Amino acid sequence: MTNINTYSPADLMSAVAEQQLAETRLTETPLLGLMAGRAQLTRQRPIEWAARLTDAASGGRALAGSLADDTAGSLGEAALTVPDFYFKYQMNVRRRDLIEAAATGKIQAVRSAVGTEIADALRSLTQTINGVLYTGTGVANTTHFGVLGLNTIAAQTGTYAGISRTTYPRWKCILQQGGTPGTPEALTVDRVTALLRARRIAGATSLRNNGTNLIILTSDEIENDVLRKLYQAETQSQADYSRMVANIEPYAGYAVKGIPVVSDVVAATANKMRFIDPSKMDMYVFDEEGAPGTIDTKISFFGYQGLKFRMADVSDNHPDIFKAEMSISLQLKCHDPIQGLTILDDVAHAAA
């Protein structure tokens, strides 16, 4: 058994935080929880990949006709960056509490002493990240943290990852708005069917979604007051999704047309249903643990799934107060927007 008396204050705090993350499983922050299963650690800030810009086109010829190359699909260079900006939460802990708890040799005693501060830090930090994963515009400030969120990925104009959506329409997400864009209207089965058909035409999904990674991410109102009522008489409501990937299970309550439904309470989910394929998305987390030249006894690390947080001792000269900063730097990536994210917009919070 590890002797916690040899732990630094940052190590003690990290051990408690890791326990708490494992127990909560980020169920209060479903988008972050879903993407944590797709998170990758990186020590390089640039994120680069070959993006599919146009599809190939086949031709034909007569039996003895001339040979000619057909139109090949084209690729482009897409690029994002892990921002030089941190999500962070700084807290104060009394050194005496840590000393007394560590003297027992049990992490649980440390948790009893500082658990409230760490729980508050984790709740605040993860809820902030969860919200920014929807609304981030890429600006490096305390509103967007340098992150490009789902709303930015779903935009129909401008560029994403350095590629123009106007020049390459395939680089746009599928967006289905209401009859009057911006005005919520009652959801119908036909609207959902039309959207799934558009995904099939784009090659983004199969006939049945059972067993795939596709999920519906929406508001609590749409999940409970709209979808459940709309599909309660449909044979595919409550469909079996036992083959659903494990990292979705803590968040999904039921399935519509075989697609697990996950709800969130952040404002960004209002009047929207986002159809997300997490296999077409990733989250990159900057990783400095163990990096050459950066070993520091005042810094410790803890994680959950692919996430890695830093716990740093940022104490000043006060003899009785330990100051700790919990932080993380990350970027969201959708490597094929037309397949990775589809938006059904203008959904009223009432069933048809």
DSSP letters spanning 130-146: HHHHHH-BS--STTTTT
Angle ∠(247,206,268) on CA atoms, nearest 5: 50
User: Do 8 and 313 touch, CB atoms closer than 8 A?
Assistant: yes
Concatenated DSSP letters of 91-128: EEEEHHHHHHHHHTT-HHHHHHHHHHHHHHHHHHHHHH
Place of tokens 């005042």: 298
Using alpha carbons, list the distances in angstroms from residue 142 to 9, 160, 307: 27, 21, 20
Residue 47's nearest CA partner among 83, 71, 88, 11 is 83
Q: Which two tokens stand for residue 299?
A: 């810094």
Tokens of 36: 């944590």
pLDDT of residue 131: 97
pLDDT, one tens digit per residue, over 136-195 is 999 999 999 999 999 999 999 999 999 999 999 999 999 999 999 999 999 999 999 999
pTM: predicted TM-score of the whole model, two decimal places: 0.89
| Closest of 343, 339, 190, 174 to residue 275, by C-alpha | 343
Give the integer Cα–Cα distance in Å for 346 and 90: 39
Inter-residue contact 278 to 37 (CB < 8 Å) = yes
* 332 strand-pairing partners: 283
Please give the Cα distance from 193 to 167 (Å, whole number).
Answer: 29
Closest CA to 322 of 4, 5, 12: 12
Which domains, from first to last, does the chain contain?
A: 4-53+77-351 (3.90.1690)
- Rounded distance, CA 314 to CA 240, Å? 50
pLDDT tens by residue, the chain, 352 residues = 455 667 788 888 898 899 999 988 899 999 999 999 899 999 999 999 999 887 777 888 888 878 887 777 788 999 999 999 999 999 998 888 887 777 776 767 776 778 888 999 999 999 999 999 999 999 999 999 999 999 999 999 999 999 999 999 999 999 999 999 999 999 999 999 999 999 888 887 655 554 457 899 999 999 999 998 888 765 545 554 445 555 677 888 788 888 889 999 998 899 999 999 988 999 999 999 988 767 677 899 999 999 999 999 998 888 888 899 999 999 999 999 999 999 999 999 875 5
